[in-house]
Amino acid sequence: MTITATRGTRVDVPAALRKKRRRHRLVVLAFLAPWIAGFLMFFGYPFVATVYYSFTRYDLFTPPEFVGLLNYEFMVKDDPTVRIAVRNTLWLVALMVPAKILFALGLAQILTRLKSGVGFWRSVFYLPALAPPVAATIAFVFLFNPEYGVANAVLGVFGVDGPGWFTDPDWSKPSLTLLALWGAGDVMIILLAALLDVPRDLYDAADVDGAGPTQKFRFVTLPTISPVLGFAAITGVIQTLQYFTQAAVASGVASNRASTGKGGSDVLGFPEQSTLTYPLWLYVRGFGQNYLGYASALAMALLVVAFALTVLMLWRAPALMGGEGENS
């Protein structure tokens, strides 16, 4: 509450009030201090530095060498693998994320209809989501091994010749999707809570109007849970843009080849680069082949996409900003 004088200069504010406000600001700073330091050191500086490095050639052995737009040119024109990596990541974003959310929604719906044993089944569906990703991936790769895995054995009982799953370039991403569905429990929990939060009277009103189950779902359930669905969708997309662990471990284990003397990033993307996601390729180029400048350029491209999504999310979901929106 400033008392503004005619010329915009601040006069007549009691000294005590000014002192109190300054103290308040110091208190705020004190609370924020660790975060501010962290933000500058671990985000602000590296962010600027990535931009800088993207214009250099740097391998940690010799000092960085300015190369102008060489990295960007290479990325756009001369690196065929970038296109493959982008395509793989987009595939996962477009197919794996909706599949997981829809499956989780289905599971949650089933749980809402159960009359008894909800807690039990909820635990059953949620348990695999707790498995550490490395462990879950290794288990899946083994179980879906075309030669001696259980999946093809079961299919064989029905006379179906199972595909190569993680060893077949056409099936490797669907196999990763199956892995994601197995772990859909964490999304399911959120959607379950949202479904249970839908006010009963809305359903009762719909009943009175003579709505069938599908109509109830379309016109009552979906609109009410759409914020949560949106949240799940956007976080799912953002996570999938960073999809690394499962793809890396799956290709390493499925290739079934001892790490050659050359190094682990040899087999990433197996089979035939079908699981080579964008973050994986960035890792290979930057830390496998030591093109740190080029990796920075790749990171910048990823940033543009993620930033666009972030802006979208912040614009569309003011709910994230929390209960009160007042500034002091």
Binding positions for another protein, 214-253, rule CB under 8 A:
228, 231-232, 238, 241-242, 244-245, 248-249, 252-253
Buried b (16+ CB within 10 A) or exposed e, 289-315: eebbbbbbbbbbbbeebeeeeeeebee
Q: Is 66 in the site for another protein (CB under 8 A)?
A: no
Q: Is 156 in the site for another protein (CB under 8 A)?
A: yes
Q: How far is the CB of 14 from another protein (least distance, A)?
A: 19
Tell which one of 68, 132, 159, 210 touches another protein (CB under 8 A): 132
Q: Is 323 in the site for another protein (CB under 8 A)?
A: yes
User: Which residues between 34 and 53 bind another protein (CB under 8 A)?
Assistant: 34-35, 37-39, 41-43, 45-50, 52-53
Q: How far is the CB of 205 from another protein (least distance, A)?
A: 23
CA contacts within 13 A on the Cβ side of 171: 12
Q: Is 197 in the site for another protein (CB under 8 A)?
A: yes
Q: Which is nearer to another protein, 66 or 205 (CB)?
A: 66
Q: What is the DSSP letter of 258?
A: P
Q: How far is the CB of 116 from another protein (least distance, A)?
A: 11
Buried b (16+ CB within 10 A) or exposed e, 253-276: bbbeeeeeeeeebbbbbbbebbbb
CA distance to 79, 192, 261, 290, per residue, from 282 (Å): 12, 36, 21, 10
Q: Which is nearer to another protein, 173 or 252 (CB)?
A: 252
Q: Is 148 in the site for another protein (CB under 8 A)?
A: yes
Strand 65-66 to 56-57 pairing: antiparallel
Q: Is 202 in the site for another protein (CB under 8 A)?
A: no
Q: Report how many residues bind another protein under the rule CB under 8 A.
A: 140
Q: Is 30 in the site for another protein (CB under 8 A)?
A: yes
Q: Give the integer Cα–Cα distance in Å for 229 and 141.
A: 30
Q: Give the integer Cα–Cα distance in Å for 134 and 26.
A: 45
Q: How far is the CB of 307 from another protein (least distance, A)?
A: 7
Q: Is 272 in the site for another protein (CB under 8 A)?
A: yes
Q: Is 143 in the site for another protein (CB under 8 A)?
A: yes
Q: Give the integer Cα–Cα distance in Å for 203 and 121.
A: 24
Q: Which is nearer to another protein, 206 or 236 (CB)?
A: 236
Q: How far is the CB of 278 from another protein (least distance, A)?
A: 8
Residue 15, class by beta-carbon neighbours within 10 Å (0-12 exposed, 13-18 middle, 19+ buried)? exposed
User: Which residues between 102 and 131 bind another protein (CB under 8 A)?
Assistant: 107, 110, 113, 119, 121-128, 130-131
Token pair recorded at residue 129? 């989501």
Write the DSSP assignment of 9-78 as a string of letters: -B----HHHHHHHHHHHHHHHHHHHHHHHHHIIIIIHHHHHHHHHTTEE--SSS--EE-TTHHHHIIIII
Q: Is 147 in the site for another protein (CB under 8 A)?
A: yes
Q: Is 193 in the site for another protein (CB under 8 A)?
A: yes
Tell which one of 149, 171, 175, 180 touches another protein (CB under 8 A): 149
Q: Is 322 in the site for another protein (CB under 8 A)?
A: yes
Q: Spell out where the chain has E strands.
A: 56-57, 65-66
